[in-house]
Amino acid sequence: MRIETFGQPFRWSLDRAAAALDKACVPASLLTLASFTCCIVAGIFFGAGRFTTAGIVMIPAALCDLLARPLAHRQPHTDFFGAFLKSVLHRYADLALFLGLLVYYATVNRFLYALVTGIAMAGAVMVSYSQARAESLIERCRVGFWERPERLSLMILGALVNRVPVVLFILAIGPNFTVIHRIWHTWKETERRPSAAESAAQPSANHPDSFGQRASASIPELRVQPHAEPHGEPALRDLLPRAAKRGA
């Protein structure tokens, strides 16, 4: 169950808030920038060891993320670029949070926690990358649990209750298992494609309107008209260089 499921009872409130922002001509990209800025500030507080303050600063970042999606649906002209901008800034925001923790644990000489933070940071990046790369090959790849809303919510909770090391151990394991799950899911989906492609290709090869049979059917017509050969040969000689220039 994803964290978005818990937000279903508040869907009406989010839609009303998104409608008010849309009426005020607030672009969805502005919420993305606000979320990114809050995560940068939270990363600075993490680096300074002020975990509770960082957790408080991340709360408006999570709220902006929740509002950005319904607001973007009301502004279809910004959907394409807004989705791209959101993906890029979210990755930088995630890296800023983990980088702040890396700086803090390196400063206090906690090598184990710094190592776990690095593994969690790699998992956070690879969860999104594995989905993006898989969906260039298959239609959809959202299997697994540890996407950004789940990770951000857990980091907020860990920062507020001062249990960040426990959260880091969870984030070092969970997202990387999600990456493995997506690799396995993509492998299964791509393994099904060759058989489907072969079965779809066979009827076209046997179809009476296929290109090969049309070409073979046109050959006897050329032989029946021998007087057309002197005119056809120069045309054929001109056609081949033109086709070569086009890369045919």
pTM of the full structure: 0.73
Question: How much of the chain, in percent, has pLDDT values that exceed 70?
Answer: 72
DSSP assigned state of 48:
T
Tens digit of each residue's pLDDT (9 = 90 or more) over 73-91: 887 666 677 788 888 999 9
* CA separation, residue 29 to residues 58, 122, 150 (Å): 18, 26, 21
In the block, tokens 């951000």 appear at 152
Whether residue 4 has pLDDT greater than 80? no
Q: Using CB atoms within 10 A of its CB, is residue 241 exposed (0-12), middle (13-18) or buried (19+)?
A: exposed
Tens digit of each residue's pLDDT (9 = 90 or more) over 162-205: 999 999 999 999 999 999 999 999 999 998 876 554 555 555 54
pLDDT in the model for residue 244: 40
For residues 28 and 19, give the distance between their C-alpha atoms in angstroms, rounded to a whole number. Answer: 11
For 119: left if phi > 0, alpha if psi spans -120 to 50, otherwise beta; the answer is: alpha
* Spatial contact of 26 and 123, defined as CB atoms under 8 Å apart: no
Q: Using CB atoms within 10 A of its CB, is residue 247 exposed (0-12), middle (13-18) or buried (19+)?
A: exposed
Tens digit of each residue's pLDDT (9 = 90 or more) over 102-140: 999 999 999 999 999 999 999 999 999 999 999 889 988
Go through the chain and tell me how many residues it has: 248
Residue 75: what are its φ and ψ, rounded to 5°?
-125, 75
Q: Which domains does the chain have, with CATH numbers?
A: 3-198 (1.20.120.1760), 212-245 (no CATH)
For residues 98 and 87, give the distance between their C-alpha atoms in angstroms, rounded to a whole number. Answer: 17
Tens digit of each residue's pLDDT (9 = 90 or more) over 55-79: 999 999 999 988 888 888 887 666 6
Whether residue 99 has pLDDT greater than 90? yes
Pick the more confident residue, 194 or 19.
19
Residue 46: what are its φ and ψ, rounded to 5°?
-60, -45
pLDDT in the model for residue 88: 93
Whether residue 230 has pLDDT greater than 60? no
For residues 157 and 161, give the distance between their C-alpha atoms in angstroms, rounded to a whole number. Answer: 6
